[in-house]
Amino acid sequence: MTTPSRRDLANAIRFLAIDAVQAANSGHPGMPMGMADIAEVLWNDYLQHNPGNPHWANRDRFVLSNGHGSMLHYALLHLTGYDLPLEELKNFRQLGSKTAGHPENHMTPGVETTTGPLGQGFANAVGFALAEKLMAQRFNRPGLAVVDHRTWVFMGDGCLMEGISHEAASLAGTWGLNKLVAFWDDNNISIDGQVQGWFTDDTPARFEAYGWTVVRNVDGHDPVEIKMAIDTALGSADKPVLICCRTTIGFGSPAKAGKESSHGSPLGKDEVAATRAALHWEHAPFETPQAIADSWNALSAGRNRETRWGHAFEAYAAQYPDLADELTRRMSGELPAGFAGVADAYIARLQAEGPVVASRKASQMAIEAFAPHLPELVGGSADLAHSNLTRWKGSKSVASSDPDANYVYYGVREFAMTAISNGLALHGGFVPYDATFLVFSDYARNAVRMSALMGARAIHVYTHDSIGLGEDGPTHQPVEHLASLRYIPHNDVWRPCDAVESAVAWRAAIERAEGPSCLVFSRQNLPHQARGDAQVAAIQRGGYVLKDSVGSPEYILIATGSEVALAMQAAEQLGDGARVVSMPSTSVFDRQDAVYRDAVLPKACRKRIAIEAGVRDFWRKYVGLDGAVIGIDTYGASAPAEKLYPHFGITVDAAVAAARAL
């Protein structure tokens, strides 16, 4: 074979995608066929990566927001030399393979973020680009740009229809993320057909209004035009860039090109053969000619890129050893060596002093105590900083060029906020937190789910956690939200009862490297609870005995948050036979060994009462059908908090009566 042309190289992507989808009898061939030419130019001429080390700190981040076209990504990873052998492509969409239906960051080497829910990959990419900007401000020095990489994102019409794309694009423009380049796959097709009936936005004008540089009308099948567009993007000094690529979905298919029939179904045996003929691909399924494979292989070039950067980093370390050590530590995900001691001392002081504050205030106090020792902590709120209490005295806006910028004013954008936090976490170098009212976690829930699915080290802060917020009424009073968040696998939910538990929750969330945490706080003041040292230590186990019975318990009262104080009062009335269990995190408690769980909730005691200002059914797993739950299974009402609790039957008397009725 003569030297492969760019079309030959792109066709290698196309046919790996076609053949994998056909073998699986499932998948989306149209997008990989349509975007193959763009991907070929980007990955062969511009992408800064090392297939031999997918975790190289200064690599470019590539995000496939239109994740249904996952075979495009898998073909690229395989061809360039990542640990994704051909057998994995042949097992596309099969159980146990590294080639899932949508890209999974925890499964496939080289996949930066899990994508598929449209628009979220784009928002993650904004988080990646923000992370690069902040790390560069903090660590780069004149002539020594050790943090210098780009974020490239592919997205389709569906991503742009999703509301999250508007939220994230607006923020990216406001922040001037010039190292973010997005390619819009403008093929006019979605699953239901031609998009003119439901997607008529002037997308280029929309992004220009957001403060982006827009490169219009690029022929997505012409490598010369694609290169010119990318070169324009590289010249943008202060704006993110949208490259509008006109493409044909299912490019090369005689019968299905430009049609929705190529979107989400295999081409079919006959059409695969016809496409091979049309594109002059005279090779067997999954066969890539050696000359084409050699042209794609980027292992040597990747090693050279990382080696050159390594030499630059050595020069940097020689001149700025402390900064080099700090950058290495942050990108490794290790917390500062002294953090545990700081946390221990602060928690002990709180227990001794016993402040009576709202847990949202206790949350702010914990941030004030921990943040000075955690430069990787970057946080923000969805236009509720004064209510969520997420700012601290060292907060500096990320919209600035301050090297210590660490606070994000997200505006009213809960969904994008959460997805951007995921991007910050996945980039490395940061422990992000975001915040809104608990009731508005609904807007963000799918991004919270993605946090958990991906194992992103993100902290989601939710305040105004119950009917206790009062006068704002049922639109703002969460009822089902705690249970909903707890039902997300691999998601730790904390609802602390006082300042001490709040600090422990923050510590646990910061130290949890393998996944997200939701920290849920009250608007109203909460009384301090007396504890011994062993009880303070047990908080981190998610549930513990706060007040014990004399002898074996006759009653066990289980409560969280503001209702722990209510449980303590009820226990006083029930007498020496009552045990109170504070359970700030059911998810953490459930991970404890059986011996500990049985010690806290002995099976012999069946008179169990759970108390929480939320839906009751969740608590049946702890109290059984023979126990009682004091909660709320309807919506709240607008009134002062002190009137709402009696109105909905969440009272000491109700708890006592329920216990005595068992």
Question: Distance between alpha carbon 628 and the CA centroid of its chain, in Å?
Answer: 36
User: Is 414 noted as a catalytic residue in this protein?
Assistant: yes
The residues facing 611 across adjacent strands are 559, 630
- Catalytic residue, from 414, 554, 563, 612: name it: 414
636 Cβ contact list (under 8 Å, min separation 6): 467, 473, 474, 477, 479, 644, 648
Calculate ∠ Cα 525-660-653, nearest 5°. Answer: 30
- Inter-residue contact 415 to 447 (CB < 8 Å): yes
Name residues whose C-beta falls within 8 Å of residue 573's C-beta, 6 or more positions apart in sequence: 652, 656
Helices (H), 140-289: 157-161, 163-175, 203-209, 223-234, 269-278
User: What's the 3-state SS for 93-141?
Assistant: CCCCCCCCCCCCCCCCCCCCCCCCCCCHHHHHHHHHHHHHHHHHHHHCE
Per 3-state DSSP, what percentage of the chain is helix, strand, and coil (rounded to 5)?
Answer: 45, 15, 40
CA dist., res. 199 & res. 195, Å (int): 5
What CA–CA distance (Å, rounded) separates 169 from 469?
A: 33
CB 210, CB 193: distance < 8 Å: no
Q: Hey, what amino acid is at 14?
A: R
List all residues 6 or more positions away from 32 whose beta carbon is below 8 Å from its beta carbon. 13, 14, 17, 69, 71, 72, 75
Where in the sequence numbering do the catalytic residues fall?
Answer: 414
